[in-house]
Amino acid sequence: MIGISLVFLIFLVSVVTGRGIKKIIKYPFNNATAIVEIPPQFSKFWSRVEKGEWEASTLSIFSQVITKDTLVIDFGAWIGPTILFAGHFAQQVIGLEPNPEAFKLVKKNVDMNHDDGRLINVDVFHKCISVRTEQVRMRYGPESAADSMGSVVSLDDAAKEDQAKRSGGVSRVKGLNPLHQQPVECYTLEEAIQYYYPIVIPKKETTAAALPPLFIKVDIEGYESNLVGTWVDWVDIIKPTMFLSMHQQTHFSVLWDETKRKSVINTLKKYPHVYEVADCGQKVRKVSKDCNGGLFKVVNPREANYILCEKCDYLLSFLNHDHIKI
């Protein structure tokens, strides 16, 4: 009853004042805390974080894999739950968030912690990650403009959609949410690492042993089908640990096809240690290096052969993490 009452109180005060409530939230792992502003639409969300009801497996893995030497770059920082948590363990954390409304919230959360002398190793930027240097537009999530389910849309696809609406046509996929009008700049992986982490990326024949450990989190609501396969060479060079969130694609610009599947498979196969994180968040299951002949080889999930879980998360690493407990 106390938890429910607090959520209701935050919601009520936020609605009356028109502003969010500033609160120190406590994560369910390692006594980690952070200052956040809780607007009405996210009061239940932050309550779930504190209760361990949101992405408990993600936070648990972060706390066991990220170390004081790790450089973290978070593609899809949203309103800050993962970057604020990772800041307790990492040397430095950089978040990229392309959604303009979500970015306002996460930037304020980061700044409030800095003003209080907390998490000064965490920063966030209104940018995105892409296969090329380009501008994109963001699609609203199903709940609000700052919803976590928003996704990037290329300017070409956005222009086609705008034209279809002006002419009274129907989009290729029914039920699409509106697009933010403000475009956002996107980096490639190489550009993002070189810009935010002033390290010299070696050539292919150079060992990556001298590089600081890099942890990349990818949670970009479907665009991973376009992106991750293009990283196959960079994975060999910089050998990052990667936490990859998979999504079932709904927009025509990020729908899975066989070419994208094969390219993602090639990237995953670069890692000697691949772990599937079940959607229920109860366990990490080891997957063999050769992916049993190919993660996407079996299309029907009811068949015995392994296929990539498009609703799951993956921990990809060059280190053995069999010890992880969730």
pLDDT in tens, 53-72: 898 889 999 999 999 999 99
Whether residue 88 contacts residue 30, with contact meaning beta carbons closer than 8 Å, is answered with yes
- The tens digit of pLDDT for each residue in 251-302 reads 445 567 777 777 887 788 888 888 887 655 434 555 544 333 322 222 222 2
Whether residue 40 contacts residue 190, with contact meaning beta carbons closer than 8 Å, is answered with no
Residues 133 and 129: their CA atoms lie apart, in Å, by: 9
Residues 288 and 292: their CA atoms lie apart, in Å, by: 7
Whether residue 56 contacts residue 326, with contact meaning beta carbons closer than 8 Å, is answered with yes
Question: Phi and psi (nearest 5°) for 233?
Answer: -75, -40
Residues 73 and 58: their CA atoms lie apart, in Å, by: 15
Q: Over 90: is that where the pLDDT of 203 sits?
A: no
Q: Give this prediction's pTM.
A: 0.82
Q: Is 81 left (phi over 0), alpha (psi -120 to 50) or beta?
A: alpha
Q: How confident is the model at residue 113 (pLDDT cuts 50, 70, 90)?
A: very high
Residues of the chain above pLDDT 70, percent:
74
According to CATH, what is the number of the domain 7-317? 3.40.50.150
Q: Over 80: is that where the pLDDT of 79 sits?
A: yes
Q: How confident is the model at residue 112 (pLDDT cuts 50, 70, 90)?
A: very high
Whether residue 222 contacts residue 254, with contact meaning beta carbons closer than 8 Å, is answered with yes
Whether residue 296 contacts residue 265, with contact meaning beta carbons closer than 8 Å, is answered with yes
Q: Over 70: is that where the pLDDT of 10 sits?
A: no
Closest CA to 152 of 98, 102, 104: 98
* 241: β partners: 215
